[in-house]
Amino acid sequence: MKGFTVYFAVLVASLALAIGFAIYDLVSRELALSAVATQSQYAIYAADTGVECALYWDFKAPVLNGVRSAFGTSSSASWAPSGIDCAGVDITSIPWVHSETTLLAATTTFTLRLGGGTDSDPCVDVEVGKNDNGTTRSTIVNAYGHNNCATTGILRVERQLQVNY
């Protein structure tokens, strides 16, 4: 009878240990999934901030060269007056890349660091493509939001938003 009691105790302990390991595995996977979802939200909110900034200043900038936009359709004109503020940063004080693709089409790109501006804070790369063929104007805004500004890392998440009008 003593052997049966020991055997039964080992069986119950093994079953409890197996259930404990299963619960631990489930909880650890859920925590990892929740961390990725949180980082994904940081990235999508950063992308949304970049799109909203570009849309706002595309419609609310002072009139330059007969057009009310901070983003030009050619690199031959002066664009982006000072005082264009997004998330507390004057984006004209950060490096812009303005590339003319054709005589009447150009793309303006800039990176906006959100939060404190450190590598661990979210950031967004914004591309504003303008096309003016003389009769119609079109704009494409692409915003690539990142959960952090570090250029490498296993935990870097990117989400993109695109607006066409």
Neighbours of 55 (CB within 10 A): 16
Q: Among 79, 80, 69, which residue's Cα sits nearest to residue 139?
A: 69
Q: How many Å apart are CA 46 and CA 53, to the nearest integer? A: 11
What backbone torsions phi and psi does residue 127 show, to the nearest 5 degrees? -120, 125
Residues facing residue 139 across a β-bridge: 130
97-149 pLDDT tens trace: 666 656 677 788 888 888 877 778 899 999 988 887 777 788 899 999 998 88
What backbone torsions phi and psi does residue 24 show, to the nearest 5 degrees? -60, -45
Q: Average pLDDT for residues 12-32, to the nearest whole number?
A: 92
Place of tokens 């404990």: 20
**Considering only 7-21, 66-80, 136-150, which range has the smallest mean pLDDT?**
66-80
pLDDT of residue 26: 93
Domain boundaries, the chain: 2-164
**Is the model's pLDDT at 78 over the cut of 60?**
no
pLDDT of residue 83: 72
pLDDT of residue 142: 95
